[in-house]
């Protein structure tokens, strides 16, 4: 299975390493592809958009003509996992004028909502279908609200921190910064499954086009 990681900036090698560790640990057949071009994007079965700096990743996705191409592939069913800055990018909306969201999951996001780098923290979460997980939050965004199609898989302080709608998975924290590969393994299962409801048919998405 070819798994892509948007490879311009951020936690690219950390995601690549945890995927590599899963070949041994979970006996997964995984080939990691750093996605920086349309050709590499077209070759993968699933995509990770890493944490990092969402304004930079946004700018480079535009510059290399990948912004619309990623949206198109996800809307036609390719699974995507966005972590932290990656979640900001896949969300429906964020109030910053320096980064536009891809509008792939019905969530409103506020960037840097816990404060600066120094306000980063680790919290043990209870995640649906996964169990307890030590989650690393670094200059994390907040998910302010989600639409009715979105499943909230974990909360912290009463707010969602892990959400899913069919083939789209978003986290405000960094699963690649622990040795625990269970969230990546969950994402691999999403890629292995078929029959997602196309998010392009979701009412909120269609309404946005009008």
What are the catalytic residues?
84, 174, 176
Interface with ligand GLN by CB under 6 A: which range of 63-71, 83-91, 126-134, 195-203?
A: 83-91
Instruction: Establish if 164 lies at the interface with ligand GLN (CB under 6 A).
Output: no
> Pick from 105, 138, 161, 191: which binds ligand GLN (CB under 6 A)?
138
- Residue for token digits 């949206």? 71
> Pick from 61, 84, 107, 163: which binds ligand GLN (CB under 6 A)?
84
Instruction: Establish if 52 lies at the interface with ligand GLN (CB under 6 A).
Output: yes
Instruction: Establish if 139 lies at the interface with ligand GLN (CB under 6 A).
Output: yes
> Pick from 80, 88, 127, 188: which binds ligand GLN (CB under 6 A)?
88
Q: Which is nearer to ligand GLN, 14 or 28 (CB)?
A: 14
Instruction: Establish if 109 lies at the interface with ligand GLN (CB under 6 A).
Output: no
């Amino acid at each position: 299975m070819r798994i892509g990681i948007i490879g311009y900036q951020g936690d690219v090698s950390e995601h690549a390493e945890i995927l590599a560790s899963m070949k041994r640990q979970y006996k997964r057949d995984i080939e990691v592809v750093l996605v920086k071009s349309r050709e590499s994007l077209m070759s993968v079965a699933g995509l990770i958009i890493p944490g990092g700096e969402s304004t930079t990743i946004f700018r480079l996705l535009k510059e290399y003509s990948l912004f619309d191409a990623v949206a198109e592939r996800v809307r036609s069913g390719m699974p995507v996992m966005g972590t932290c800055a990656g979640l900001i990018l896949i969300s429906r909306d964020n109030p910053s004028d320096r980064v536009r969201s891809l509008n792939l999951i019905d969530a409103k996001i506020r960037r840097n909502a816990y404060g600066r780098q120094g306000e980063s923290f680790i919290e043990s979460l209870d995640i649906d279908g996964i169990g307890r997980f030590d989650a690393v939050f670094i200059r994390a965004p907040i998910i302010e609200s989600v639409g009715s199609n979105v499943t909230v898989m974990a909360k912290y302080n009463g707010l969602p921190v892990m959400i899913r709608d069919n083939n789209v998975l978003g986290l405000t924290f960094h699963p690649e910064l622990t040795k625990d590969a269970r969230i990546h393994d969950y994402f691999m299962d999403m890629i292995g499954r078929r029959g997602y409801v196309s998010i392009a048919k979701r009412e909120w998405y269609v309404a946005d086009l009008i």
